[in-house]
Amino acid sequence: MMKHKKPETTVRNFHQAKWDEPIVFELHTAGEKGIGIPESEPGIKKAVGNAMDSIPKHMQRRRPPALPEISQMRVLKHFLRLSQHCLGADFNIDIGQGTCTMKYSPKIHEELIRSTHVAEIHPDQHEETVQGALEIIYLLDLCLREISGLDRFSFQPGGGAAAILAMTSIIHRYHELKGEADVRDEIITTIFSHPSDAAAAAVKGYKVITLYPEEDGLPSVEALRAAVSKHTAGLLITNPEDTGIFNPRIHEFTDIVHRAGGLCGYDQANANGILGITRAREADFDMSFFNLHKTFSSPHGCGGPATGALGVKGYLEHYLPIPLVSLEEDVYRLKHDLKHSIGKVRDFMGVFPVLVRAYAWIMSLGGEGLKEAARVAVLNNNYLLEKIKKITGAEAPYAKDRHRIEQVRYSWRKLTDETGVTTEDITCRLADFGLHLWSSHHPFIVPQPFTIEPTESYSKKELDEYLDALRHVVKEAYCDPDLIKSSPHRSVVHKIDPSSFDDPEKWAITWRQHLKKHGGSI
């Protein structure tokens, strides 16, 4: 039975849409058609004859693809229903996905990027026909130079991890040109920096040294000193780290790595609380990147398309991916002659619509507005911290009684010990209230972790609603843990049986595999 909303709480009497929608293949009816396809004009057909004769028989498809045949409105309805089975940031009070900066993505941006002047331009058009696109890229570069204190940006990386790979590639190329690439084969990072900092370094063949936090939540200067050596190629680090704790000794970190001959790359995925407050330059980083789909408002699109805007100090400009955009006598040009360039990290110029949105966002806020966004994000975060640490069973490990920047990695350890209810259980239960809670990246250094980042986009009333939901669930954990353990009850689906996911005999990554392995029954 559905519980009714109590007047003293803002906990919502929510139920997600549940259409019980089949898999798209189950909608198939032979002969149905979703869309008409243009045929060649008779003049073309007459001129070319049977064009299929130009293709050798063995290269002609023997069996048509077993795609479903579905009429147009049913396809529309299917995907609209699936969309309703999804809680975007526009619906959710999306503060439960820490490290991901789920802020408001203004709708005017969507109108702009759907214009033909963005959607219908080809990346190989002549420069003179894409002056508008090049101008946006150029102006965004200028803005991000000021916001970071660095000297030149490339927008080619298609996300944060791609930007990390690009930074690592620059580090490698830099040492290679000095003849030291073979010796300098180690990258240092921290456990509370994004997993991609470690993973992308490994893609470039580096050994990864990971620093762990001391009691204050931060890696120590001494640990870094012990880690650097003649093998150090560079440092890839987030600050504030995923705990929301700012490392005040970050300049000492970059100094130590520089003295050892390494380069310092700043993962600015967590930049939202420090815009206009502190920058890569002040901490003497050689390069950094911003996630334009996080800090600069571009929507996350269920996981991209995105942009990791990569900035470097002047002396590394020639290492950036090609091409860059330059302004020569009032004409924007593509600049290909970068003598040490790492080449390319993505086809063409990157994800242009994301750049339009980021530029529009900056132009909606200006210097003062960016700082205000950061300050409010931090205010919101510390307001939540103050309230959450008073919730029974919740803790905020490290840096006790200190303020955090834009997010906090909390722990339900105590709650789990006392009730058996885990973070995973709570994430399931919160879905019953139209809310999302994320645990954290692995490994779970903080036991039973959950990470909250409120950004500047949510009102105090919304933050209070989220808090009420957390309190409500905690109360349930102590009174009726089974209610949580069997949740969700008012979401689209019920408890998922994960047993097939790690079993090669049972996993089904596609419908045809599912039919083959399970005969279509679930």
Which residues, numbered 441-460, are part of the site for other proteins (CB under 8 A)?
A: 441-443, 456-460
CA–CA separation, 444 and 511 (whole Å): 33
Classified as helix, coil or strand, 500 is: helix
Hey, what are 7's tokens?
Answer: 């007047």
Which residues, numbered 144-183, are part of the site for other proteins (CB under 8 A)?
A: 145-147, 149, 151, 158-162, 164-165, 169, 172, 181
CB nearer other proteins, residue 479 or residue 493: 493
CA–CA separation, 122 and 161 (whole Å): 26
Least distance from C-beta 47 to other proteins, angstroms? 6
CA–CA separation, 237 and 253 (whole Å): 10
CA–CA separation, 163 and 321 (whole Å): 11
Least distance from C-beta 325 to other proteins, angstroms? 12
**Size of residue set near other proteins by CB under 8 A:** 227
519 binds other proteins (CB under 8 A): no
Q: Which residues pair with 451 in a beta bridge?
A: 409
CB nearer other proteins, residue 359 or residue 466: 359
Q: Which residues pair with 208 in a beta bridge?
A: 187
CA 21 to chain centre: 28
Which residues, numbered 304-343, are part of the site for other proteins (CB under 8 A)?
A: 304-306, 314, 322, 336, 342-343
Hey, what are 123's tokens?
Answer: 């990346």
Among 58, 179, 329, 519, binds other proteins (CB under 8 A): 58
Stretch that binds other proteins, among 1-9, 275-283, 444-452, 468-476 (CB under 8 A): 275-283
Q: Which residues lie closer than 8 Å to 251 by C-beta, 6 or more apart? A: 282, 283, 284
Q: Which residues lie closer than 8 Å to 177 by C-beta, 6 or more apart? A: 340
Q: Which residues lie closer than 8 Å to 332 by C-beta, 6 or more apart? A: 127, 131, 134, 135, 137, 138, 325, 326
CB nearer other proteins, residue 98 or residue 393: 98
Which residues, numbered 491-510, are part of the site for other proteins (CB under 8 A)?
A: 491-502, 504, 507-510
Element of type H or E holding 288: strand 287-291
Token look-up 């996911």 returns 501
Token look-up 């526009």 returns 90
434 binds other proteins (CB under 8 A): yes
Among 3, 5, 6, 45, binds other proteins (CB under 8 A): 45
24 binds other proteins (CB under 8 A): yes
Least distance from C-beta 142 to other proteins, angstroms? 5
Element of type H or E holding 42: helix 42-48
Among 3, 6, 9, 69, binds other proteins (CB under 8 A): 69
CB nearer other proteins, residue 92 or residue 422: 92
Element of type H or E holding 332: strand 331-335
Which residues, numbered 211-240, are part of the site for other proteins (CB under 8 A)?
A: none
Stretch that binds other proteins, among 5-13, 228-236, 432-440, 471-479 (CB under 8 A): 432-440
Least distance from C-beta 214 to other proteins, angstroms? 15
2 binds other proteins (CB under 8 A): no
Least distance from C-beta 444 to other proteins, angstroms? 11
Least distance from C-beta 54 to other proteins, angstroms? 5
93 binds other proteins (CB under 8 A): no
Tell me, residue by residue from 103 to 122, as one string, x for binding to other proteins by CB under 8 A and - for no binding. xxxx-x-xxxxxxxxxxxxx
Least distance from C-beta 4 to other proteins, angstroms? 21
**DSSP strand pairing (287-291 vs 308-312):** antiparallel
CA–CA separation, 489 and 469 (whole Å): 15
CB nearer other proteins, residue 48 or residue 479: 48
Hey, what are 251's tokens?
Answer: 């300049």
Least distance from C-beta 472 to other proteins, angstroms? 17
Token look-up 């869309």 returns 35
> In 3D, which of 35, 39, 38, 23 has the Cα closest to residue 71?
35
Which residues, numbered 129-148, are part of the site for other proteins (CB under 8 A)?
A: 129-133, 135-136, 139, 142-143, 145-147
CA–CA separation, 480 and 163 (whole Å): 46
CA–CA separation, 224 and 206 (whole Å): 17
Which residues, numbered 365-404, are part of the site for other proteins (CB under 8 A)?
A: 365-373, 375-376, 378-380, 382-383, 386-387, 402-403
Which residues, numbered 241-260, are part of the site for other proteins (CB under 8 A)?
A: 245-246, 248, 250-251
